Structure formats: structure tokens, C-alpha cells
A and B are shown apart, each in its own frame.
Chain A
Amino acid sequence: MAEFWSSLVAFFERLSGQFPIVFQALNSGFLQTLKLFAVTLLGAIPLGLIIAFGSMSRFAPLKGLTRFVVWIVRGSPLMIQLLIVYYFPGMVLKNNWWGSGETGRFLAASFAFIINYACYFSEIYRSGIQAVPVGQQEAGQVLGLTGGQIFFRVKLLQMIKHIVPPMTNEIITLVKDTSLARIIALQEVIWAGQAFMKGRSGISGELWPLFFTAVYYLVFSGLLTVLFSRLEKKLSYFRT
């Protein structure tokens, strides 16, 4: 028992010595995580809407093609998609258009994440659009509203209310999914934590920094959960 206690104390002493260095490294890794997260949302939120319209198109070939692509993207692992997006240009086309270094990896990761998440979002949007009863459209029509007015003044908020809960889930998943970019060596927070195993800034063979990265994800997804539940509450004044 005493032995266990003393080794625990020793561990925390070591840890507190290393903490400032590790903390700084993890912070800059997490900044990259946040960047990937933000860029993905910025790209996938509008792109998802375009894909949603494509998948509901009355032009059968467009609808078929869109749904096929969505099926491929949603049905295969994001990790594989990352690898293909990053390595395909260089290995197969002999032209690595992503460019070299961290910038190239970030571009490739952003591309893969935006496409992947846009496909997920498109399905959520589609369910949101279809959830608004036709009666709303028709009520707007007989009141002489234009198509645009019906969409923006009547249907949009009802759609948003409907999609907030599934979008929250998907966005929380994105927080954690950014760690997959580690597979193409993007220097996000997991990569930063792992570096202390091999050795970095005079620290090596340490596993705790990697474990500690989980705290970043927890805090961030916790913040987002609070934010989105506020939004959900704000929209709870009406029922559809």
C-alpha cells in the first residue's frame, strides 16, 4: 500500500514538472483541431444544403447520382476517405496538388471532412424539409405569399427547430472525429499528445499527455452541448 502511494506521488511530481511544456504543445495541437472543426462546419453546412436539394431533385439522374454519392460517403469509414483524399493525387496522379507539409495535410483533411459531413448534414436537412407539413406551404400559397416568402417566413424556422437535435449530435461527433486526421499526420491535439511518447521537448516515453487530450474534447463538447441546448430551449416556445 505504501509502495503504491509513493509511486503515485512520484508520478504526480513528474507530471507537474512536465505539465507546462505539455500544456503548451497540446494547446497548439488543439488549435489545429479547432481550425479543422470550424472549416468543416463552414464548408459542410452550406454544401449539405446543396446536396439535400440534389437528393430531392425531380430530375431523376441528379437525384440518383446524389443519393449514390451520399451512400458511398456515409457507408465507408472517414479514415479511409482521408487516406484516399490525401494520397490519391500524389500516388496515382503523380501530382500531389495538396502541397507538402502541414498546410497540404490541412487542406486534404478539410476537403475530406467537408465532403463527409456535408453528406451527413444533407440527410438531416432532407428530413427537416420533409418534416414541415404540406399544409404550411398551402396555407402560405392561399394567403398569396411568394415561394421565397413561404420558405423564409414560414418553413425555415420550423425546419431549424426540427434539425437542431440531430445537428447537435452530428457536431459533437465532429469534435471527436477531427482526431481521425491523425492518420495523415495532421498535427492536431492527438498528434501533439502522442509526440511525447517518441520524444519531444526533452520529454519521452510519456503516455499521460495522450490521455490528457481527452480533457480537451470533453470540455469543448461540453461547451457545445450547453450552447445547443440553449438554442433548443429558445425554439421550444412553439410546437409544430
Chain B
Amino acid sequence: MAYFEVNGVSKSFGSNRVLRGVDFSMEKGEVVSIIGSSGSGKTTLLRCITQLEQADEGRILVEGEPVFDAAETKRLSKEEKRRRQLNFGLVFQQFNLFPQYSVLDNLMLAPRLRAKKEPDFSKRREELLAEIKEKARAILEQVGLTEKAKQYPCELSGGQQQRVAIARALMLSPKILCFDEPTSALDPELTGEVLQVLKNLAKEHITMMIVTHEMKFAREVSDKVVFMADGVIAEEGDPETLFQNPRSPRLKAFLANTTL
């Protein structure tokens, strides 16, 4: 049994069958990069995993527990859905920070609201909130933004904003952290700082799925690379093999058009 499994996930938008039975699995602490040309369904796959979209078919399991099952007929409560969703974190291409909150408050908003659901919240209020603040400070340090804690997103560069977004996702300690082209909205000179943060997380064995066009990065940090084409996984393997000896003509063509 793998740590994380996606079984036969399909998704259509109208008559456009975007995912056509995606099967995929990874182990705890692994880093998997997903590559593929635009429109191949990478974003849709991440959105189905993080349950921003509901897949039409298939199952998603974390540690053997189903977190999504298209065949499930029983209606889940909203809270149960959120609980399952929280197995995953998602970092967006466009950061999507909350503009009206300071960096620190962006990190603390969700954990504080979640903490209210703790049965002993009223008793341990101060303690819980202090823990959250401490964690936020530690994570900010990890992404190198300690001095920016009190600033607002609009005062930061794109690279800094994306690092805040990563920190915000880490606050809820997701089992699997997903990234959708985290550097694609950045100026080229700002991608390095974000990729460095990802490398550091990889060293700490945070389980990550990263959709990326940064081939050099994918090759360096990934335990596994997955190539998507037309809504299926066309080829997968360890980075050296995949980049050196692509088997399918499609991957060969894709790599030929990409600068390493």
C-alpha cells in the first residue's frame, strides 16, 4: 500500500474529457514532479486531488484511507469533506494571498479558525493561539521572511509572496503539499528563491507534488518525474532515466522543445 494513491481519476468539462483515468502513487517523503505541455490536464489533476474539482470517476487514498471516492453514495458532511481536503495543501501559480492581512496573519488565519473547533479551545485558548504564533514564526524563518512578518502582500515581491503562500500552506501540516507551477508567474530572476525553498523542503522530506516547467529543477530534486499528455500519465520514472532515455515519442518531442 502506497502512502498516496490516485486510482483511475477521470474528469470532464462538458464534452471535453480532460483526465482519462489517471493512476499514480507515491511514498511518504517523496518529491514527484509533473511535467507536460499546456492543456495536458496537470492543473485539473491537482485540483481534483485537492478537491477544488470533483472527479467524475476514481478514488484518491492517503495512507490507505479514501479521501475521495467518486462511487461513494453517502453524502459527506461539509466538515468531513474539509477534514479530508486538509490532507493536502495547495500552492497556486498566482499565490492567492489574502491582501488585507499581514504576512503573519495570512499564516495564522486558517490555523486559528481551525483551533476553534478543538473541544478544549475555550479552556486552552491562550495556549493554542500562542502555539500557532510560534509555529508561524518558525515557518516564516524557514522560508527566510522573518523580517516581513508585519508587512502586507502588496509590499512584497512576487518571489516573497510565493514564499509566504508556501509558508501558509505549511501551517496546516498537510500530508501532501501540491504546487501548481509555483514559479510561472514570477520574473525569471525571482524563481531561484522559490525553488530554493522547495529544495529545502525536499531535504526535510516533505511529501510534495510539483507541477513545473523548470526541468533542471525537476531533475535535481525529484524522486520521480511524471509526464502527462492528453489527460493520462504517458510516462513516469526516476529523473535520470526519464530525461536521458525517454521511451515514448511524445515525451521525446516534449523534451526536444524544452530547454534543460
B77-126: which residues lie under 8 A (CB-CB) from chain A?
78, 82-83, 85-86, 88-90, 92, 94, 96-100, 109-110, 113-114
Q: Of all chain A residues, which has the CB nearest B153?
A: A238
| CB < 8 Å neighbour of A153 from B97, B113, B153 | B113
Neighbouring B residues of A240 by C-beta, 8 Å: 99
| A158 and B99 in contact, given A141-B52, A144-B82, A237-B152 (Cβ under 8 angstroms) | yes
* Complex alpha-carbon distance, A149 and B89, angstroms: 18
| Contact, CB under 8 Å: B96 / A135 | yes
| Contact, CB under 8 Å: A144 / B114 | yes
A181-240: which residues lie under 8 A (CB-CB) from chain B?
237-240
* Complex alpha-carbon distance, A154 and B82, angstroms: 17
| A142 and B113 in contact, given A135-B94, A136-B96, A239-B154 (Cβ under 8 angstroms) | no
* Complex alpha-carbon distance, A201 and B88, angstroms: 78
* B213 contacts chain A at the CB level, 8 A cutoff: no
| Contact, CB under 8 Å: B90 / A136 | no
* Complex alpha-carbon distance, A230 and B98, angstroms: 23
Interface hub of A141, A144, A154, A237 (most chain B Cβ within 10 A): A144
Q: Of all chain A residues, which has the CB nearest B171?
A: A143
* Complex alpha-carbon distance, A145 and B116, angstroms: 12
Q: Of all chain A residues, which has the CB nearest B97?
A: A139
Neighbouring A residues of B114 by C-beta, 8 Å: 144
Neighbouring B residues of A142 by C-beta, 8 Å: 50, 52, 85, 88-90, 169
| CB < 8 Å neighbour of B172 from A143, A147, A161 | A143
| Contact, CB under 8 Å: B99 / A139 | no
Interface size class of chain B, counting residues whose CB lies under 8 Å from the partner chain: 20 to 34
| Contact, CB under 8 Å: A139 / B96 | yes
* A133 contacts chain B at the CB level, 8 A cutoff: yes
* A146 contacts chain B at the CB level, 8 A cutoff: yes
What mask results when residues 128 to 144 of chain A are scored 1 for a CB within 8 Å of chain B, else 0?
00000101101111111
| CB < 8 Å neighbour of B96 from A138, A144, A145, A153 | A138
* A157 contacts chain B at the CB level, 8 A cutoff: yes
| Contact, CB under 8 Å: B110 / A144 | yes
* B224 contacts chain A at the CB level, 8 A cutoff: no
Least Cβ–Cβ distance between B107 and chain A, in angstroms: 10
| Contact, CB under 8 Å: A139 / B85 | no
| CB < 8 Å neighbour of A143 from B94, B152, B168 | B168
Least Cβ–Cβ distance between A141 and chain B, in angstroms: 6
Neighbouring B residues of A238 by C-beta, 8 Å: 99-100, 152-154
Q: Of all chain A residues, which has the CB nearest B168?
A: A143
Q: Which 7 A-B pairs have the closest CB atoms?
A: A143-B110, A135-B96, A139-B96, A239-B154, A142-B90, A238-B99, A144-B82
A-B contact pairs, 22 of them (CB 8 A): A133-B94, A135-B92, A136-B96, A139-B97, A142-B50, A142-B52, A142-B90, A143-B109, A143-B110, A143-B172, A144-B82, A145-B110, A145-B113, A147-B78, A153-B109, A153-B113, A154-B98, A158-B99, A161-B100, A238-B154, A239-B154, A240-B99
